[in-house]
Structure 1
């Protein structure tokens, strides 16, 4: 009987750990999505600023000369 109780207790702890990790993963996924959107916006703004400054196509969007 003692082995069964110990196993049930360990399962309860493992379930708690899985739930906690699931929460962490969900939070990190939301943060990654937010950061990805922010980086895309910053890249867009930087490209616009570069285009305005040079009056042409941003260097990052130009094809290399060998193409």
Structure 2
């Protein structure tokens, strides 16, 4: 009975370590995704600005509706 309890406690310790490791990975990936999302948004804005300059037109999101 004691051996079985020790085995379960050992397995629990390994599982806790695995969960902690996975939690660290998820936290790091979340930070990376946030950074990449900001960079993509910035690049999209730059591309829209470059297109507006090249065509001499405002992007549709920046155009004022005709009723204004």
* 1:20 maps to 2:18: no
Deviations 1:8-67 (A, max 9, x none): 000000000000000000000000000000000000000000000000023xx37xxxxx
- Aligned residue pair count: 60
- Structure 1 runs (4+) greater than 2 angstroms displaced: none
Q: Calculate the TM-score normalised by the size of structure 2.
A: 0.85
Q: Calculate the TM-score normalised by the size of structure 1.
A: 0.86
Q: State the superposition RMSD in angstroms.
A: 1.0
Q: Which runs of 5+ in 1 are unaligned?
A: 63-67
